Structure 1
Amino acid sequence: MEIGEARKKVKGATWFFASLIGVYLIVLAVLMLSGLGGRISMIQNLLISQGMIFIPTLVYISITRCDIRETLRIRKTHWSAIFIVPVFVLALEPAMSVINSISLLWVDSATTELTEGLVAKYPFWVSTALMALTPCIVEELAYRGVILGSYRYSSRLWAIIVSGLLFGAMHMNFNQMAYAVVLGIMLGLLAEVTGSILPTMLAHFCFNEISVCIGYFLYHDSSLKKVAESASENIVTTKQLIITIVSMIPFAVGGLCVAFALLYALAVINCRKDEVLGMFRRQMRFADDGSEIRRPRIISIPLVLSLAVCIGFMVVSEIL
């Protein structure tokens, strides 16, 4: 691909992320000023939040006419991913739990109330559809599809890191951002080793579905419900959180080792080992006159400003 076209894709992905943040803030302002924010149901809230990502994604795809196979990378991968990816997600769970617990030392959980409220009022399939199935399609199309798929025309390694950072910032709260950044990077690596975002959709679904299942069984099993209610009534102290974090660290480290081993296995199975390892080596390209062709930079003023808006919003939300 020519350098001009690559630069265009990178800039397009940055402005796409800026538009997602802009749409989020505009919709939020409309809901607050109109008074509708306090009257919408939990289902409506989830549908609106996903719609704010899905509609701009469809608009971007239709306007840019980006290649579904090359940019979005919606294509087949080795069938073994169906079995390996769920194990990959389970291996990541301890690390996600540790990061989540560390964030709870400073901020409150942003998902517990939502999960408990949804599984308490609606059937299991509704919770699965809204909290696992819909996000795994919508968010993966936007972040591992449009954003990562466009940024990788610059540096693939930086594309994975930055797209993970943007994925975390998109959640607009420090609690979810803490583990979503790491999860986003791991999902980016998964997309790279398989050459497709279909495995990342499966991984995203499995990750969210674990939370749905835990919440559902905690609420609907009488004995587990009593334990959960008793735990929620008691304020978890900082000391208890630290003990939990320290005790989980060995499992988190072990799980991450397993996760990276599975990523390597998927790279080998999909015949992408050399291509993936090439991400960690600087590869220079030269023009006909012998001068080095510099790849377009991902970091830009619009990107920094968009992230600053996200951080600012989260800070204000915590203060208020």
Structure 2
Amino acid sequence: MTETRRTNRFALLFFIYFMMTSVALAMVPAIRELSDSAYMLLAQLICFLPPMAFYFFSTRKDVKQTLRLKPLGWKNVLIIISFAVSIQPVMSLLSYLMSLFFPNPVEQSIEGIQQSGLIVSMLSVAVIPALLEEVFSRGILLSGYQFLGRWKAAFASALLFGLLHMNPQQLPYAFVVGFIFCFLVARTDSLFAGILPHMIINGTTVVSIFTEGAGTGPVELEQSVILVTLLLMALLSIPWLALLLYIFLKINPPKAELQLMDETGNLYAERFITPSIVVIFLLYAAFGLFPYLST
């Protein structure tokens, strides 16, 4: 079995376990009585930790090497922090465009997050998801897809990261930032290049929720006004994002890509689409997309 097929099978098992465990937890009365943020915190730990531990136990892979647990360096830290802040107008635009067609789960959980308190909410929405989702997506998956090639590996990891959200409203911007995180991690050879911006982006959302809650309430604006405002903010952020990317590329030159030859002497390449991936697509269509289309 090739490394890509093995990674695809793990991804499928992870999706199945994730979905079954999420449903099972929702049926436990004691857990359902927890605050929204406390519930999310517990659910994430139970849904992510066991399958990831099983992965390393069954494959015997080196954890440090697979997850690229290397320091970033202060220059990369500053650039990535600035990048995480500056890319949020683009993310907000993508999120708003999709919210015109599908409900935004973040907006639906605002009240529950506010009632849970800032510290618990920051842990459940920003810190823990950044750690667990990055270990799964930019750690295990990105490493497992190395024989696809640099760009295909980033595409595969980002796509599964987007599908894992099981929500069409979140899929586009999750895929976009997931792909960017893959690029940051690959260039720095450090998983912290994904964890840091992930944590900042989610943490900004939490802060904005509590900031709005402390005010007089959101101002109702027409969709056209909101769309134009978000579009202008996104366009204004692009030159600064381009400059940050240029500086990042200068600091982090490309590393030699792993290349293998097959028995005929041609460049060896694996295929991403296998039966396991097809089943993941079907699961997403049935449980992540169809419920929104049928309402």
TM-score by length of 2: 0.88
Counterparts of 2:10 and 2:166 in 1: how far apart (Å)? 17
Residue matched to 2:269: 295
Contact 2:35/2:112 (<8 A) preserved: no
Q: 1:305 aligns with which of 275, 279, 286?
A: 279
Residue matched to 2:245: 263
Contact 1:148/1:163 (<8 A) preserved: yes
Write out per-residue CA displacement over residues 166-191 of structure 1, whole angstroms, 9 at most, x where no aligned residue: 11110111112221111111111111
Q: 1:95 aligns with which of 87, 90, 93?
A: 90
Residue matched to 1:137: 131
Residue matched to 2:18: 24
Counterparts of 2:45 and 2:174 in 1: how far apart (Å)? 16
Following superposition, the deviation at residue 286 of structure 1 comes to 4.2
Residue matched to 2:48: 53
What letter is aligned with 1:300?
T
Is 1:184 aligned to residue 178 of structure 2? yes
Write out per-residue CA displacement over residues 105-129 of structure 1, whole angstroms, 9 at most, x where no aligned residue: 111111123243222332x222111
Residue matched to 1:244: 226
Residue matched to 1:157: 151
Over the matched positions of the two proteins, sequence identity in percent amounts to: 22
Write out per-residue CA displacement over residues 239-298 of structure 1, whole angstroms, 9 at most, x where no aligned residue: x3344223322432443443344234223213x24x3xx87xxx97546x7621322222
1:315–1:37 distance in 2 versus 1, CA, 3 Å:
farther
Q: 2:59 aligns with which of 56, 64, 69?
A: 64
Counterparts of 2:31 and 2:284 in 1: how far apart (Å)? 20
Contact 1:190/1:200 (<8 A) preserved: yes
Counterparts of 1:134 and 1:65 in 2: how far apart (Å)? 25
> What secondary structure sits across from 2:123 in the alignment?
helix
Contact 1:172/1:310 (<8 A) preserved: yes
Counterparts of 2:193 and 2:26 in 1: how far apart (Å)? 37
Counterparts of 1:246 and 1:20 in 2: how far apart (Å)? 40
Which runs of no fewer than 5 residues in structure 1 stay unpaired? none
- Number of residue-to-residue matches in the alignment: 293
What letter is aligned with 2:85?
L
What letter is aligned with 1:102?
L
Contact 1:285/1:294 (<8 A) preserved: yes
Q: 2:209 aligns with which of 205, 215, 224?
A: 215
Contact 1:78/1:269 (<8 A) preserved: no
Residue matched to 1:107: 102
Contact 1:21/1:310 (<8 A) preserved: no
Counterparts of 2:125 and 2:28 in 1: how far apart (Å)? 26
Residue matched to 2:199: 205
1:250–1:295 distance in 2 versus 1, CA, 3 Å:
same
Counterparts of 2:34 and 2:152 in 1: how far apart (Å)? 39
Following superposition, the deviation at residue 21 of structure 1 comes to 1.2
